[in-house]
């Protein structure tokens, strides 16, 4: 049985022979090396059971796709393979323009562009060059599935000058056979949300639960709805919803549980790292998240969304125009995103109307009533032996209007107070002290 490293070694060795044949044909005008597929046939991966071979078969990649894929991989696996591409044009004292390539800030070797791929596969053959261009179209699996990323240096430069890079996710899948789950960093301003809680821990009224069930049903059956019911021409595959209501009423937990129900990762966007005062940086940061999420089963959760999705203003100066451009860009990305986007805010009125019109649903998370608060109290303390006999959740629920998030703070404070005082149980007084602290945040008293 072939190991994945052996498969990659075989593929890189084949790729090296392809490159040698291209240089031989191009610079030595060797007519016998014009047809690379005949001269250097690709290794047969039909019966090879490795991570790399599975992806090749999954997307039915042919000769040209495999060359491009290995070209994007070799800087990570064997950078010296591309050293010969750095040769200089002696007549012009500069690199060959037809070979393309770019230099990294720290990497000393040659880094490929789309031009490099076109050189290897087409040489000076214009017809084949146009065929190569089809590999970089948005609808081609290499791009559509997020396997490769193209990064243009400038909008007015030739399209083949774009950097050719393999995505972090597929780099890990191709090399290690595992899917990569990015986590919070300066290059990825989003955090994977996880919870140990279940639907039983979430206390919402029936109307809200019906709306939430509607979102879960879409996630579970969207392909069937679009294809079997003949709605794919009329409906976009994405789903956008707004969660609004007072803080602590369960918006974030609901988003996490929706992902848990359909086995989808939920990423919470850190708006403090997305929004930038520098022109173009906010859009770039957003693109980083949307590009990585484009073809994955992710749910994007924007908390305190009004700071980013706020109302557009009259353009009285350049700053206003820039802010409005950010909103317009975000509107376009949200609308075109094929997955689920959940926006959460305390104040619905602050959200730009252009977004509201594009929501498939708007879910209001109200403050829990007395009965719901009693359920929340009971859910918080699963070990009832740690509660003193004087604890009366019904009384607390009827007297004090607090959201679930505030009750969590009360429970934490009461437990800390009991431990600090060397008590074996939490008393009613511990809970009342915690409630008093929460009420003081809003300028209230017991």
pLDDT tens-digit profile of 172-198?
888 877 766 666 566 677 888 989 989
Please tell me the distance from the alpha carbon of residue 2 to that of residue 12, in angstroms, as a whole number.
15
Nearest-10 crossing angle of helices 126-134, 114-122: 130
Retrieve residue 401's tokens. Answer: 């209007």
Query: What pLDDT, on the 0 to 100 scale, is given for residue 374?
Result: 94
Query: What pLDDT, on the 0 to 100 scale, is given for residue 76?
Result: 94
What own/partner pairs with CB < 8 Å and gap ≥ 24 does 420-425 have?
424/386, 425/385, 425/386, 425/387, 425/388
Q: What is the DSSP string of 12-47?
A: HHHHHHHHHHHHHHHHS--GGGS-HHHHSPPPP-TT
* More confident: 167 or 178: 167
Strand runs (DSSP E) across 273-346, as ranges?
298-302, 340-345
Query: What pLDDT, on the 0 to 100 scale, is given for residue 78?
Result: 94
Residues 111/79, Cβ–Cβ less than 8 Å: no
Give the helix ranges, DSSP H, for 232-307.
251-262, 271-274, 281-293
What φ, ψ does residue 359 adopt, rounded to 5°?
-75, 135
Please tell me the distance from the alpha carbon of residue 244 to that of residue 253, in angstroms, as a whole number.
13
What own/partner pairs with CB < 8 Å and gap ≥ 24 does 84-91 have?
84/19, 84/23, 85/19, 85/110, 85/112, 85/116, 86/110
* Residue carrying the six token digits 């049903």: 217
**Residue partners of 434: CB distance under 8 A and separation at least 6:** 409, 410, 411, 412, 413, 414, 417
Closest CA to 236 of 137, 334, 367, 361: 334
Look at residue 305 and give its three-state secondary structure. helix
Please tell me the distance from the alpha carbon of residue 69 to that of residue 442, in angstroms, as a whole number.
57
Residues 242/348, Cβ–Cβ less than 8 Å: yes
* Residue carrying the six token digits 């509607």: 214
DSSP character for 311? P
Query: What pLDDT, on the 0 to 100 scale, is given for residue 331?
Result: 77
Least confident of 15-19, 145-149, 257-261: 145-149
Residues 273/362, Cβ–Cβ less than 8 Å: no
**Residue partners of 320: CB distance under 8 A and separation at least 6:** 313, 314
| pLDDT above 90: residue 391 | yes
- pLDDT grade for 277, boundaries at 50, 70 and 90: low
Query: What pLDDT, on the 0 to 100 scale, is given for residue 151?
Result: 85
Please tell me the distance from the alpha carbon of residue 106 to that of residue 54, in angstroms, as a whole number.
33
Look at residue 330 and give its three-state secondary structure. helix
Please tell me the distance from the alpha carbon of residue 22 to that of residue 34, in angstroms, as a whole number.
8
Q: What is the pLDDT of residues 361-371, one digit of tens each?
A: 999 999 999 99
52-66: average pLDDT: 94
Query: What pLDDT, on the 0 to 100 scale, is given for residue 8?
Result: 94
Q: What is the pLDDT of residues 297-330, one digit of tens each?
A: 889 998 887 777 765 554 454 454 555 566 677 7
13-42: average pLDDT: 85
* More confident: 273 or 338: 338
Q: What is the pLDDT of residues 62-116, one digit of tens each?
A: 999 999 999 999 999 999 999 999 888 878 888 889 999 998 888 889 999 999 9
Retrieve residue 82's tokens. Answer: 């591309």
* Domains, in order of start, for the chain: 4-176 (no CATH), 190-364 (3.40.50.300), 370-441 (1.10.8.60)
Mean pLDDT (the chain, rounded): 86
| pLDDT above 60: residue 253 | yes
Query: What pLDDT, on the 0 to 100 scale, is given for residue 320?
Result: 47
Q: What is the pLDDT of residues 410-440, one digit of tens each?
A: 999 999 999 999 999 999 999 999 999 999 9
| Number of alpha carbons in the 13 Å side-chain half-sphere of residue 315 | 6
Q: What is the pLDDT of residues 187-246, one digit of tens each?
A: 677 888 989 989 988 999 999 999 999 999 988 888 888 887 777 777 878 899 999 999
Closest CA to 163 of 124, 123, 122, 105: 105
238-260: average pLDDT: 93
What φ, ψ does residue 270 adopt, rounded to 5°?
-85, 100
């Amino acid at each position: 049985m072939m190991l994945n490293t052996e498969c990659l070694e075989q593929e890189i060795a084949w790729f090296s022979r392809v490159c040698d044949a291209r240089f031989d044909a191009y610079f030595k005008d060797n007519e016998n090396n014009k047809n690379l597929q005949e001269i250097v046939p690709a290794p047969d991966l039909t019966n090879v059971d490795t991570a790399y071979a599975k992806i090749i078969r999954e997307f039915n990649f042919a000769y040209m796709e495999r060359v491009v894929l290995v070209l994007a991989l070799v800087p990570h696996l064997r950078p010296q393979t591309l050293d010969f591409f750095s040769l200089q044009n002696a007549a012009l004292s500069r690199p060959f323009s037809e070979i393309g390539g770019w230099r990294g800030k720290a990497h000393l070797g040659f880094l490929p562009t789309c031009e490099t791929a076109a050189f290897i596969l087409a040489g000076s053959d214009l017809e084949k060059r146009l065929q190569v261009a089809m590999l970089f179209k948005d609808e081609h699996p290499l791009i559509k599935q997020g396997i490769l990323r193209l990064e243009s240096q400038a909008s007015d430069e030739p399209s083949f000058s774009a950097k050719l890079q393999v995505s972090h996710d597929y780099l890990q899948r191709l090399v290690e056979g595992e899917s990569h789950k990015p986590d919070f960093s300066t290059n990825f301003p989003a955090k994977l949300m996880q919870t140990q809680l279940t639907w039983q821990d979430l206390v919402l009224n029936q109307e809200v639960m019906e709306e939430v069930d509607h979102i879960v049903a879409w996630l579970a059956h969207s392909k069937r709805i679009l294809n079997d019911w003949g709605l794919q021409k009329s409906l976009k595959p994405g789903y956008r919803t707004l969660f609004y209501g007072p803080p602590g009423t369960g918006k974030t937990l609901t988003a996490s549980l929706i992902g848990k129900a359909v086995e989808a990762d939920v990423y919470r966007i850190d708006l403090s790292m997305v929004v930038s005062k520098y022109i173009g940086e906010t859009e770039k940061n957003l693109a980083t998240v949307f590009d990585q999420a484009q073809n994955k089963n992710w749910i994007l959760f924007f908390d305190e969304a009004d700071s980013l999705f706020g109302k557009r203003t009259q353009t009285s100066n350049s700053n206003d125009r820039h802010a409005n451009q950010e909103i317009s860009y975000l509107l376009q990305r949200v609308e075109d995103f094929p997955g689920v986007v959940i926006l959460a805010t305390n104040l619905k009125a602050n959200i730009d109307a252009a977004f509201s019109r594009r929501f498939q649903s708007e879910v209001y998370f109200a403050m829990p009533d007395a009965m719901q608060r009693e359920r929340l109290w009971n859910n918080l303390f699963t070990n009832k032996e740690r509660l003193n006999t004087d604890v009366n959740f019904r009384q607390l629920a009827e007297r004090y209007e607090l959201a679930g998030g505030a009750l969590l703070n009360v429970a934490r404070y009461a437990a800390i107070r009991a431990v600090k005082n060397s008590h074996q149980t939490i008393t009613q007084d511990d809970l009342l002290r915690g409630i008093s602290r929460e009420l003081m945040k809003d300028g209230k008293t017991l």
